[in-house]
């Protein structure tokens, strides 16, 4: 049995970096754009290189990583990450709903901006709220 599990992991057939139910970190990479095509190729590469670690840390409850994930989903971070403003807002709601002791006025302002009407319509804000509730439940299961 150990051999089968080791073989599945070695071939890449099984990804153990994200807990079950989570989307793989690589699924958020913006494959439509090569970093060399962006305004700042170095920044794009650094963001992509750090993405897997930030995503894994965010799933583990890291405040800083959750802020990074939220920002990149909301903005695309130098086109390195596939922009998903609704999910970016959902992570902002997770940050405010997690009770992080580090959370403060900047997070409140970011939530107002990235979840506000300049970024999302009412339907997207409703979807973000529902997504944040799901994310919070999933985070509690992995903690």
> 11 and 4 in contact (C-beta within 8 Å)?
no
Give tens-digit pLDDT for 95-131: 999 989 999 999 999 999 999 999 999 999 999 999 9
Structural domain contains residue 9: no
Structural domain contains residue 3: no
Give tens-digit pLDDT for 78-95: 999 999 999 999 999 999
Pair of tokens at residue 116: 């506000």
Structural domain contains residue 90: yes
The count of domains in the chain is 1
- The DSSP code for 24 is P
Q: What is the pTM of this model?
A: 0.83
Range of the domain at 112: 21-142
């Amino acid at each position: 049995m150990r051999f089968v599990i080791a073989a599945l992991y070695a071939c890449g057939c099984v990804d153990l970096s994200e807990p079950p139910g989570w989307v793989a970190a690589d699924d958020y990479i913006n494959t439509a754009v090569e970093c060399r095509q962006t305004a700042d190729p170095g920044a794009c590469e650094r963001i992509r290189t750090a993405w897997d670690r930030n995503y894994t840390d965010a799933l583990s409850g890291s405040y800083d990583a959750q802020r990074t994930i939220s920002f990149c989903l909301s903005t695309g971070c130098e086109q390195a990450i596939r922009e998903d403003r609704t999910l970016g807002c959902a992570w902002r709601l997770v940050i405010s709903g997690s009770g992080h002791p580090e959370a403060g006025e900047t997070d409140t302002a970011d939530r107002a901006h990235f979840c506000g009407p300049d970024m999302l319509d009412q339907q997207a804000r409703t979807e973000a709220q529902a997504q944040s509730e799901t994310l919070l439940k999933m985070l509690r299961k992995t903690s």
